[in-house]
Structure 1
Amino acid sequence: MRILIVTHVVRKNDGQGRVNYEIVQAALAAGHTVTLLAAEAAAELIEHPHVRFVRIAGSRLPTKLVQYQMFAWRCGAWIRAHRDEFDVVHVNGFIAWARADVNAAHFVHDGWYRCGFYPFRLLHNLYHAYQVIYTLLNIACEKWAFRHADVIVPVSQKVAGEVRALGIGSARVQVIHNGVDVGEFTPGASERERFSLPSAPFMLLFAGDLRMSRKNLDTVLHALVQTRVDVHLAVAGILHNSPYPALVASLGLTQRVHFTDMVMDMPALMRSVDAFVFPSRYEPMGLVLLEALAAGLPVITVRTAGGAEVITADSGMVLDDPNDATALAAAIERLASDPAYARNLGAAAREVAGTLSWHAMAERYLAVYEQVHARRTAHAMPSNCASAPVKL
C-alpha cells in the first residue's frame, strides 16, 4: 500500500508522535511505502528509502490557534493536490482541511470541555477567554474532521464515547489502545540514590505536567497528608511555573515529597519506586500509565483517566472520584501496608502491558488500513465496462 500519514511530529519521544512512529516502522516492515506530511520526523525515518518526508513549515503568526489553522490549510492543500498518489490517508484529529480514510482520535476537545473539570471561564480574564475560544474552535474543527473520515480510531473506549457523542456512528469507530515498550519499561534493580530518593520508605510515583490542574497532583498531596503509614512521593515533571512546591510546603510535606524535575530515564525511575499514582481528572489515554503497568508497578488511578479501562481488579486499583482524597489515601495505605498484595498487582499489571505492545498496536492500525484499502478498491471496480469514480 501507499500510505500517507499527516501529523505534526513523528518521533519516539513524543506521545502522539510515538504512535505514528511505530505505525511507520510496522508499515515499512510489511513492505508498504509511507509519505509523512509533518513539521518534524525522526532522522532514521527520513533516511529510509521507502519513506518520503514532506515538511510543512510552521507559521510565525501569533498564537497556537492561528498557527494550527495555517498548518491545517497547508496540509489540506497538499493532500488535495496529491490524493490520487495514495491508497490510505491517515490523519490525527483535526490537522488538515481535507478528507481522510483514517482519523486517529488522541484527544477530543468536546469531551474535555464537558467533562466537569474544564478550568477556564470565558469572562474570567483574557487568558481564560483565549483558552475557551481555542477549545470551542477545536471542537468545531474536530467535528468536521471526524465527519470527513471513513474510519475513526479512538485511543480508548473513553475517547470513543466522546467521538460518538459528536454524532459519529459506532460502525465507523474502531478503538486501538496506545502501545508501550515492554522491553524498555520492565522491572529491575532500584536506583533511588541516583534520583536522590530515600531508600527506606514505601515510594509512590506521580509523573505529569506540573502546571496543569487536570493531572491532579493536588489531590495526591492531600491524600498523603491523611495516610497513617510512612509513604513518600516522587514527583516527576517540569517544575518551572508549578504551584505545587508551595502547596507541599503549606501542607507540611517537605520531607515526604521529592521533586525530581524532568526525568529523561523514566524506566529507571519507575524501577526505583513501589507504586504509581495517576488520578487525572481528565485523560484520553495516558502513555505514562501504560509505562507503569509495563514496569510492573501496582497502579492507583481513577475512572476519569483514559487507560483505566484496561486495568482489572487483579492488576490495579481504579477509584470513582478523582477528587476524593480520603479514598485515595485508603488505597495508598492498602498498598503500603500489604507488600504481597502490591507485588501481585504489579505482576498482573505487567501481564496486561504485554497485550499492549507497540507492535500489537501498529499491527491493528495496518489491519484498519487493509480494510479501508479493500473497500476503496471494491468501490473502484469497473461497472458495465466503465470505471466507477472513487468517493471518499
Structure 2
Amino acid sequence: MRILHVLNTVVHTGNGIANVAVDLAVEQRRRGHEVAVASAGGGFVDLLRENSVLHHHLDFTSRRPKALITAHRGLATLVDRTRPEVVHAHTITPTVVGAVVQRRRPFTLVATVHNEYQRGVTLMRTADAVVGVSEAVSASMVRRGVPRARIHTVLNGTVGSPRRTAPSPEDVVHLPPDAIVTVGAVSHRKGADVLVAAFEEVVREFPGAQLYFVGNVDWTELAEGVAAGERADQVHFVGFDAQPQRYFPTATVFVLASRRDPMPLVLLEALEAGLPVVASDVDGIPEALDGGRAGLLARPEDPTDLAAKTISLLRSEDLRRRLGAAAKERVATLTVAAMTERYLEVYGITSS
C-alpha cells in the first residue's frame, strides 16, 4: 500500500502528534508498505530517512490564504507524482487541504484527531474516516456531528517505538527518595498549578519529598512564583529532555494532573517503565489506566484528591509494587505494532 502521512512538523521536542506519526510511518515501512511523510520538517527527518521513509517538505503551519494556496499546490503536485492510496492527516490544516485535493484525485483520506479540544477540530470531519486516539475523543467527535459510522478508535501505542532507546546506566538520573515525577509541558492544560498545589499537601506528610517537572516551561509565571517561594528547593523545573525516561528508574511515583489529555504518550511510557501512577480522571486517561486498574485516578482540578492519591502511594511500597505490575500488564497491549495493525484495518475498511 502507498501511504502518505501529512502533518505540521516532525519536531523532536516532545510533540505527541509528531511522535505518533513517526512511529506509525516507520512501522508501516517495516511491514513493506511504501510510506512517505510531508511536513515542514524537524528533528525526526533523519530517523524517517534511516528507516527508508521519504520526507517531503510541505508547510501546513499557517492558515493564511496565501500559505493555504501554496500548501494546496504542493500537496496536489506531490499526490500526482507519488499516487498514494491513502493520505493520512494528523492535524487540521492538512486534513482540510487534503479534502480539497481529493476532489479530483482517487485516494482515501484518513484524519486522526489527536487533540479534540483544539479550535476548528470539527473541520477534520471532511475526511473519509475520522480516528480518535481514545473512545473519549471519538465520543466527542460524535457530539460534534461526525457520523458514528465514519469514526474509528485507535489507541496510541508506545512499546516498540523506533524513537526511543532504553537509557544507559550512566544516563539515568538518580533521584532522592519520595521523588514525584511528571513529564510534559508546564502549562495550564497539563495542570501544573494543580500539581504544585497538591505538592503543598504532600510535603506536610512527607517533608523530604521532591517534585520534578520534566518538560518545556510554557507557564513561566508559575515557575517563577515557585522559585520565589518556600518550595524552591523541592520543586524542580528541569526543562525539556529528549529522553525523559532517564527519570523513571529512580522515581517513586509518576503524576499527571492534566485538565485535558486525549491519550498522553508520557503516561504510556510511565506505565511501560512499571511506575505507579496517579493521573486525572479526564478524557482518555481512564482508558490508558484500564479504568483505574493500572493506576490511581484523581478528580481533575482537585489538588486535595491528587495529593491524597499520591500520599497513598508514597506510604505503601506494596501498593506501588502492585500498581507497577498492573501498569506493565496494561501497556503490553499498547504497542506500536498493535496501533499500526489497527490503522491498516481502518485504511482497508475505509477504502472498500
- Deviation of 1:235 (Å): 1.6
Is 1:358 matched with 2:336?
yes
| 1:185 Cα offset (Å) | 7.6
C-alpha distance in 1 between matches for 2:159 and 2:245: 10
The equivalent residue for 1:16 is 17
Which residue of the partner structure matches residue 118 of structure 1?
A: none
Q: Distance in 2 between matches of 1:370 and 1:233?
A: 46
In the TM superposition, residue 334 of structure 1 has moved relative to its aligned partner by 0.4
1:3 paired residue number? 3
Aligned to 1:389: none
Equivalent-residue separation in structure 2 for 1:190 and 1:333 (angstroms): 30
Cα–Cα, structure 1 residues 247 and 358, in superposed 2: closer, same or farther, change >3 Å? Answer: same
Task: State the match for 2:45 in structure 1.
Answer: 42
**1:151 alignment counterpart:** 129
Q: Specify the SS of the correspondent of 1:168.
A: coil
Match of 1:130 in 2: none
2:105 — aligned with what? none
Task: Kindly provide the amino acid, as one letter, of the partner of residue 124 in structure 2.
Answer: A
- The residue type equivalent to 1:56 in the other structure is L
Secondary structure in structure 1 of the residue aligned to 2:248: helix
Equivalent residue letter for 2:197 = H
CA–CA distance in structure 2, aligned partners of residues 265 and 44 of structure 1: 15
The residue number in structure 1 matching 2:112 is 104
Structure 1 position 217 matched with structure 2 position 192: yes
Mapped to 2, the partners of 1:293 and 1:308 lie a distance apart of: 13
Structure 1 residues 331 and 65, CA, compared in 2 at 3 Å: closer, same or farther? same
- Answer whether contact 2:12 2:242 (CA < 8 A) is retained: no
Q: Please tell me the residue identity of whatever aligns with 1:23.
A: L
CA contact (8 A) 1:290 1:307 kept: no
Structure 2: which 5+ runs fail to align?
100-107
* Deviation string, structure 1 residues 187-231 (Cα, Å, up to 9, x no partner): 997977x46x4x3x3111122212x21211211121121223223
Secondary structure of the residue aligned to 1:213 is coil
TM-score, scaled relative to structure 2: 0.83
* Counterpart contact for 2:182–2:256, Cα < 8 Å: yes
Q: How far has the Cα of 1:296 moved from its partner?
A: 0.8
Structure 2 equivalent of residue 25 of structure 1: 26
Conserved? CA contact 1:190–1:271, under 8 Å = no
Is structure 2 residue 347 aligned with structure 1 residue 369? yes
- Pair 1:249–1:38, CA change in 2 (3 A): closer
What amino acid is aligned across from residue 32 of structure 2 in structure 1?
A: G
Question: Cα offset for 1:281?
Answer: 0.7
> Contact 1:150–1:172 at 8 Å: present in 2 too?
yes
8 Å CA contact retained: 2:25, 2:36: no
Rounded to whole Å, the distance in 2 between the matches of 1:168 and 1:285 is 20
Q: Deviations over 1:327-363 (max 9, x none)?
A: 1111111001111101110111111111111121112
Q: Distance in 1 between matches of 2:160 and 2:36?
A: 28
2:84 pairs, out of 83, 86, 94, with 86
Partners of 2:306 and 2:170 in 1: how far apart?
25
Question: 1:240 and 1:365 mapped to 2: Cα distance?
Answer: 33
Aligned equivalents of 1:249 and 1:11: distance in 2?
A: 29
CA distance in 1: counterparts of 2:140 and 2:211, whole angstroms? 33
CA distance, structure 2, for counterparts of residue 182 and residue 344 of structure 1: 24
Give me the whole-angstrom Cα distance separating, in 2, the residues matched to 1:82 and 1:262.
34
Aligned residue runs from structure 1 range 174-253, under 5 A: 174-181=152-159, 194=173, 197=175, 199=176, 201-210=177-186, 212-227=187-202, 228-230=204-206, 231-239=209-217, 242-249=220-227, 252-253=230-231
8 Å CA contact retained: 1:189, 1:272: no
TM-score by length of 1: 0.75
Give distance in 2, aligned partners of 1:264 and 1:2. 31
User: Any idea what the Cα deviations from partners look like across 1:97-148, whole Å, max 9, x if unmatched?
Assistant: 232521111112xx35xxxxxxxxxxxxxxxxxxxxxx4xxx2xx33331x2
Secondary structure at 2:279 match in 1:
strand
In the alignment, is the contact (CA less than 8 A) between 1:233 and 1:258 conserved in 2? yes
Name 1:279's counterpart in structure 2.
257
Alpha-carbon distance in structure 1 between the residues aligned to 2:115 and 2:222? 26
CA offset at residue 246 of structure 1? 3.3
Change (3 A) 1:11 1:370: farther
CA RMSD across the alignment: 2.9
Question: CA 1:86–1:165 in structure 2 vs 1: closer, same or farther (change >3 Å)?
Answer: same
